[in-house]
Structure 1
Amino acid sequence: MTTTYVNWGESKVKLTWHANQTLPSRNLITSVHGYCFHEEKLMLVNLNQRGWDIPGGHIEQDETPEECFKREAMEEGYIEGRCYPLGYIIVDHSENTKWDESSPYPEIGYQVFYRMDIEQLHPFEAKFESFQRVFIKTDEITNYYQGWHEFHQEILNCALTNKKRMV
């Protein structure tokens, strides 16, 4: 378990990573993300507003977390595959002086993370919010992902470790 503080806009937010395959309550999950692998390489997508990132996004009303991740992976990376839950980040706004009851996110919310082993690689069409995808060795991630830090690395390490457990 790792905890860090980040500045999101003008807000200070506490993030805590929990490697745990038991997911939090669905109504508190705000977004779902994942590390996708094809032939031992990690897929990144170049998103229109954020640059290189892993697939993910906000969960829709009638989706399960896994359905959300599969949808986001298809929309952003044009891939399909088998998913395994890795854990979640607790997004804690309790020390955020800018948060109030009218904020779009709960005071304590969760971002769920998966590992996907890609089984179908579709032609990349760039119809949604990404305009490029790339498959890289995991040690090349800092060449692409701006702002990569130890917190992200811990989650990636969890994805890599889980692969060894699934084989």
Structure 2
Amino acid sequence: MSESGVNDDRSYSQRTIIEAGQKVKFVDLGTSFTPAFDKITSVLVVPFTQDGLIICAHLDRGIDLPGGHVEVDELTCEVTARREVMEEVGVTLGELKLVKVIQSDYYGSEPEQLTYIVVMTAFVEDILPGECTHESSGRSIIDIEQFIAQYQAGDKEDMHRIVLDAKKVL
């Protein structure tokens, strides 16, 4: 995996949108589009308890949902999702369901430069003892509104929509 978090077999010759001083545009594609797996850069997971609470991670950027970059040896989004959830919040998940695909122009807006974030959700099966992991300083089990009130890592409206869409899928 390169420092940018993208699979090493990808090569992008131009600067990222952020390096060019622009804002990244995210487009919610719903579930109607399935990108080629090599264009998926990361997976975001909304893990719910059976009573509708969210398990979220305490990361350097603040409270957030578990998720991260697809690693070179991972062949499915499900593998990435399960690994990231274990690493960041120490839980195992039941059946993962697709919530949506989000298109990103981080590497540019030409079709070959677009990348994708896959959002998945599942019910939590087991919460492992201990709260700190090597990737987070702890976890919280809170309701949706508490999570959104504390969320500062990105756009609150976008995150609220993601979480509500995930809840509908379950």
- Would the TM-score normalized by the shorter structure come out above 0.5? yes
1:151 aligns with 2:162: no
Which deviations, in whole Å up to 9, do the C-alpha atoms of 1:79-106 show, x marking residues without a partner? Answer: 011211111110024359xxxxxxxxx7
Equivalenced residue count is 147
**Equivalent position to 1:59, from 67, 70, 83:** 70
Pair 1:123–1:22, CA change in 2 (3 A) = farther
Stretch of structure 1 that moved more, 79-88 or 145-154: 145-154
Give 2:68's aligned amino acid: G
Q: Which residue number in structure 2 is paired with residue 41 of structure 1? A: 53
Which moves more between the two structures, 29-38 or 136-145?
A: 136-145
TM-align CA RMSD? 2.1
**Residue in 1 aligned with 2:98?**
85
In the TM superposition, what whole-angstrom CA distance separates every residue of 1:109-149 from its partner, at most 9, and x where no partner exists? 00111002101111135231101101111121233211442
Which of these residues, 62, 66, 76, is aligned with residue 88 of structure 2? 76
SS class of match (1:60): coil
Letter paired with 1:42: I
Cα pair 1:13 1:91 within 8 Å, conserved: yes
- Percent identity reads 30
**In 1, distance between residues paired with 2:44 and 2:65?**
7
TM-score, normalised to structure 1, is 0.79
Shift of 1:8: 4.6
State the alpha-carbon separation in 2 of the partners of residues 25 and 149 from structure 1.
28
1:23 is matched with 34
Query: 5+ unaligned residues in a row in structure 1: which ranges?
Result: 1-6, 97-105
3-state SS, counterpart of residue 132 of structure 2: coil
- Mind listing any 5+ residue stretches in structure 2 that lack a counterpart? 1-16
